Chains A and B, each alone.
Chain A
Amino acid sequence: MPAGPEHSNPAKRMRLFIQDLAAKHHFQPTRLLEMLREIQARDHHISNEAVELLAKALQIPRTRIIDAVEFYNFFSSTPKGRYELLISDSITDRMLGKDALIEYMAEKLRVPVGGVRNDGLVSLDNTSCTGMCDQGPAGLVNGHALTRLDRARVDRIADLIERQTPLAGWPPEFFQAEDNIRKSGLLLGRPIAPGDALKAAYTRGLNQTLAEIDASGLRGRGGAGFKTAAKWRFCAEEAETERYVVCNADEGEPGTFKDRGLLNAFADQVFEGMTLCAAIVGAKHGFLYLRGEYLHLYDKLQAILAQRREAGLLGRGILGHNLDFDIEIRLGAGAYICGEESALIESLEGKSGIPRNRPPYPVSHGYLGKPTVVNNVESFFAAAAIAVHSGAWFAAHGTEKSKGTKILSISGDCTHPGIYEYPFGTPVRTILDDCGAKDILGAQVGGPSGTFISNREFGRLLAFEDLATGGSFIVFNNSRNILDIAHNFTHFFAHESCGFCTPCRVGTSLLRKQLDKIYDGRGSAGDVAALDEICRLVKTYSHCGLGQTAANPVLTTLARYPEAYQSRLKKISYEPGFDLDAELETARRLANRSDAAAHLSQTGE
């Protein structure tokens, strides 16, 4: 870089940087998130100046950029530290001592949680589950995953930060993410070789291959369970011929990390599944929407895409057939809601992740309004295997309504956290035995949006018709408190609500306040009924799956452990929703009073 006078002026440097950035992304507003990621990485915030320059370069309203900056957790309009530390606040991280650890970090680095140190060197905050529950407490430094944090590691990290050591100079083991694949079944035990699924599909015929996927009974592995073959067929039948294939690798459900493992160990097979889908539905362009927390996988995945192009498995005329298809990786920026398929599409278009009104569904009106298949990583992974091994092979396992296997992310109180593959229909008890869980209170199946099951329900089955799950499976032993769990999850949803609709935007915050009141021991007789009412409103009237499941942590634990809630209530008829005496503190201080009349008891009873 020439250090001429032109480049010594920060305003000019910024102008050139933004101009180059926009040009690099072909001035495409759909790539806004990628550009904002680069600005955030360079400046540790996105300044008004950057917003103005970028809006001009992309010819979009500045409000669209401001919205994106304020919507996504990994962007900031005010400066963060040059070392931006985010600590994963999943229940599993907490169970591994995260709360004490983040306080130790704050003390060690002399920066408050949620703040930036005065010298601007470091900032520290909580973030939602980073997908390292099997190797936590976890976090991110400037977007790169940190695993197995402990005091010794924090000491070394603090030292590296004080010495301003670039991340490249940090010990690689700090960033080491293990796959922890503990139990392989039908799919994990028999990965396919690159190209095999496509070759099989073309040999068999694409229509016949779709019929095989239909016969396999494969249903979407994100949790909702829509039949994969039906989705592909609907998309293929659309009149509009510009079609897209999207792989949803935004696994943000706390306690889920199996896609991280699949993408690290079997990315080829996932890409092959996407390419197979493209061949069947007639798409030319595919996206892997990778959650921002998995930045550590990005370069490796790009390399695999490059190899596949090299091998004629991507690009023009794939394997000599009339198939042109390529895959682009897009990174998220910290928003759980983007796991919802229509919010994900909005995000792919460079906007904030607000779920769309449905109908129309993405299969007819998806990316840029064109027919789009959105499937989970595991669905594409399974589809590729089915194309090779046949539908009957897959359908021979599982139950009547849930064919094949499910890949689980198991974490929490067990000796062997990691990735496990089970045929559908497996009882919870078997899973708990395998992962080394003892003295169990219960398990959260399907993450916060799923179900909490108690130790009286371990005969229940892993299946769409019983316990549907996107793959999160968190074990709790008897030392855990049921309200700690509901509390952590309820705060998670309030934090992740996109805010589009009233019942979720306001309701999840009301739910948080109401649960906090009980959790903090400030509840009275009517407060559980009030909690239940808010739950019902949020669940019934919310716009999308986030709101519709946001009350599940409270509802599923309240149904099983009403006494856990009741025991926190004061034995009085009514308790104010706020701390009365604390509300007098300012006035007391200003009037310099400490007499008895300057205080209030919390209740009049």
Chain B
Amino acid sequence: MADKKLRIATVSLAGCFGCHMSFLDIDERILELAEVAEFDRSPLTDIEHCGDCDIGLIEGGVCNSENVHTLREFRKHCKILVAVGACAINGGLPNYRNYIPLEECLGESYLDGIGVENPQIPSDPELPLLLNKVRPIHEVVKIDYSLPGCPPSADVFWKFLTDLLAGREPALPYELIHYD
């Protein structure tokens, strides 16, 4: 068990992948991380579905039905589920649509907005349906930790993961707590 690598899965729901980019900003420290951890489902691996993992890092809020399914898959398979970044924590910038009724949003985009041709609301069953509001992930599944920031800096990821790896309760010093 001691020499078994920690398995990490990551995903971006209604996010911009900025948190993932910031994660990669740990730069050469990723080699150190690779010594003790390996990636399951993640944009970095192309694994399509999450297997049993130690840690799941979720970027982005929940804006549609597919996000709900993905988030549940992560919750089911990850021992520790982490809300990463402003969007996962409070909906973030996509949450700006929460104050406009969904019908108006879709109407503006697909029916009567400037430059719309062949107006129609997309109805292909392949497409996930939008929820009325963009939700933070803690309102849909139980979350174990949150890493604030837009995005959280590479140091936040590093501090959090190294704390966990060392068996410490993760804690962020003042300079690493930011909501922007």
Which one, A577, A580, A592, contacts B123 given CB within 8 A? A592
Which one, B75, B128, B139, contacts A578 given CB within 8 A? B139
Smallest CB gap from B106: residue in A: A590
A604 in contact with B132 (CB, 8 Å): no
Instruction: List, in ascending order, chain B residues with CB within 8 A of A573's CB.
Output: 142
Tell me what chain A mostly uses at the interface: helix, strand, loop, or mixed: loop
- Contacts A587-B130, A591-B123, A600-B65 given; indicate if A580 touches B140 (C-beta within 8 A): yes
- Contacts A586-B102, A591-B129, A598-B129 given; indicate if A574 touches B122 (C-beta within 8 A): no
Map CB proximity to B onto A424-449 as digits: 1 under 8 Å, 0 otherwise: 00000000000000000000000000
B65 in contact with A577 (CB, 8 Å): no
Q: How far does the Cβ of A231 sit from chain B's closest Cβ, in whole Å?
A: 48
Instruction: List, in ascending order, chain B residues with CB within 8 A of A592's CB.
Output: 121, 123
Smallest CB gap from B141: residue in A: A574
- Contacts A526-B142, A588-B129 given; indicate if A580 touches B103 (C-beta within 8 A): no
| Extra A-B contacts (18), CB below 8 Å, given A598-B65, A600-B65, A604-B141 | A574-B141, A580-B68, A584-B65, A584-B129, A586-B101, A587-B106, A588-B129, A590-B121, A591-B123, A591-B129, A592-B123, A593-B125, A593-B129, A595-B125, A598-B125, A600-B68, A604-B73, A604-B76
Smallest CB gap from A574: residue in B: B142
- Complex Cα distance A584/B135, Å? 13
In B133-178, the 8 Å CB interface with A consists of 133, 135, 139-142
Q: How far does the Cβ of B133 sit from chain A's closest Cβ, in whole Å?
A: 7
List 7 contacting pairs A-B, 8 Å CB cutoff, sorted by A: A574-B141, A578-B135, A580-B131, A580-B140, A587-B129, A588-B129, A604-B76
Please tell me if B72 contacts chain A, counting CB pairs below 8 Å.
yes
- Contacts A591-B121, A591-B123 given; indicate if A576 touches B140 (C-beta within 8 A): yes
- Complex Cα distance A583/B101, Å? 12
Which residues of A are at the interface with B, using a C-beta cutoff of 8 A? 526, 573-574, 576-578, 580, 583-588, 590-593, 595, 597-598, 600, 604
- Contacts A595-B125, A597-B65, A600-B65 given; indicate if A583 touches B139 (C-beta within 8 A): no
Question: What 6 A-B pairs have minimum CB-CB distances, sorted nearest first?
Answer: A604-B72, A587-B129, A591-B123, A574-B142, A583-B131, A587-B130
| Most interface-central of A583, A588, A597, A600 (chain B CB within 10 A) | A583
- Complex Cα distance A595/B131, Å? 16
Instruction: List, in ascending order, chain B residues with CB within 8 A of A595's CB.
Output: 125
Which residues of B are at the interface with A, using a C-beta cutoff of 8 A? 65, 68, 72-73, 75-76, 101-103, 106, 121-123, 125, 127-133, 135, 139-142
A590 in contact with B142 (CB, 8 Å): no
- Complex Cα distance A587/B129, Å? 6
Instruction: List, in ascending order, chain B residues with CB within 8 A of A576's CB.
Output: 139-141
- Complex Cα distance A586/B135, Å? 16
- Complex Cα distance A573/B131, Å? 23
- Complex Cα distance A381/B133, Å? 56
Instruction: List, in ascending order, chain B residues with CB within 8 A of A574's CB.
Output: 141-142
Instruction: List, in ascending order, chain B residues with CB within 8 A of A590's CB.
Output: 102-103, 106, 121
A584 in contact with B103 (CB, 8 Å): no
Which one, A586, A598, A600, contacts B103 given CB within 8 A? A586
Instruction: List, in ascending order, chain B residues with CB within 8 A of A583's CB.
Output: 131-133
- Contacts A577-B139, A580-B68 given; indicate if A587 touches B125 (C-beta within 8 A): no
Q: How far does the Cβ of A532 sit from chain B's closest Cβ, in whole Å?
A: 17
- Complex Cα distance A595/B135, Å? 23
- Complex Cα distance A577/B142, Å? 11
| Most interface-central of A585, A587, A593, A597 (chain B CB within 10 A) | A587
Smallest CB gap from A525: residue in B: B142
Instruction: List, in ascending order, chain B residues with CB within 8 A of A526's CB.
Output: 142
- Complex Cα distance A590/B133, Å? 15
Instruction: List, in ascending order, chain A residues with CB within 8 A of B102's CB.
Output: 586-587, 590
Q: How far does the Cβ of B169 sit from chain A's closest Cβ, in whole Å?
A: 20
- Contacts A590-B106, A597-B65 given; indicate if A584 touches B131 (C-beta within 8 A): yes
Instruction: List, in ascending order, chain A residues with CB within 8 A of B125's CB.
Output: 593, 595, 597-598
- Contacts A578-B139, A592-B123, A598-B125 given; indicate if A586 touches B68 (C-beta within 8 A): no
B122 in contact with A591 (CB, 8 Å): yes
Instruction: List, in ascending order, chain A residues with CB within 8 A of B133's CB.
Output: 583
A587 in contact with B131 (CB, 8 Å): yes
- Complex Cα distance A585/B123, Å? 14
- Complex Cα distance A600/B121, Å? 20
- Complex Cα distance A597/B125, Å? 7
Instruction: List, in ascending order, chain B residues with CB within 8 A of A587's CB.
Output: 102, 106, 129-132
Q: How far does the Cβ of A572 sit from chain B's closest Cβ, in whole Å?
A: 10
- Complex Cα distance A585/B125, Å? 15
- Complex Cα distance A351/B106, Å? 44
Smallest CB gap from B66: residue in A: A597
Smallest CB gap from A585: residue in B: B132
Smallest CB gap from B133: residue in A: A583
Instruction: List, in ascending order, chain A residues with CB within 8 A of B140's CB.
Output: 576, 580
Instruction: List, in ascending order, chain B residues with CB within 8 A of A588's CB.
Output: 129
B141 in contact with A593 (CB, 8 Å): no
- Complex Cα distance A50/B125, Å? 55
Q: How far does the Cβ of A514 sit from chain B's closest Cβ, in whole Å?
A: 13
Q: How far does the Cβ of B51 sit from chain A's closest Cβ, in whole Å?
A: 16
- Complex Cα distance A215/B91, Å? 63
Instruction: List, in ascending order, chain A residues with CB within 8 A of B123's CB.
Output: 591-593
Smallest CB gap from B71: residue in A: A604
Instruction: List, in ascending order, chain B residues with CB within 8 A of A585's CB.
Output: 132
Q: How far does the Cβ of B118 sit from chain A's closest Cβ, in whole Å?
A: 16
Q: How far does the Cβ of B161 sit from chain A's closest Cβ, in whole Å?
A: 24
Q: How far does the Cβ of B125 sit from chain A's closest Cβ, in whole Å?
A: 5
Instruction: List, in ascending order, chain A residues with CB within 8 A of B103's CB.
Output: 586, 590
Instruction: List, in ascending order, chain B residues with CB within 8 A of A577's CB.
Output: 139
- Complex Cα distance A586/B105, Å? 11
- Complex Cα distance A570/B65, Å? 22
Instruction: List, in ascending order, chain B residues with CB within 8 A of A591's CB.
Output: 121-123, 127, 129
Q: How far does the Cβ of A575 sit from chain B's closest Cβ, in whole Å?
A: 10
Smallest CB gap from B68: residue in A: A600
Instruction: List, in ascending order, chain B residues with CB within 8 A of A584's CB.
Output: 65, 129-132
| Most interface-central of B65, B127, B132, B135 (chain A CB within 10 A) | B65
Instruction: List, in ascending order, chain A residues with CB within 8 A of B121's CB.
Output: 590-592
Q: How far does the Cβ of A525 sit from chain B's closest Cβ, in whole Å?
A: 10
- Complex Cα distance A563/B42, Å? 43
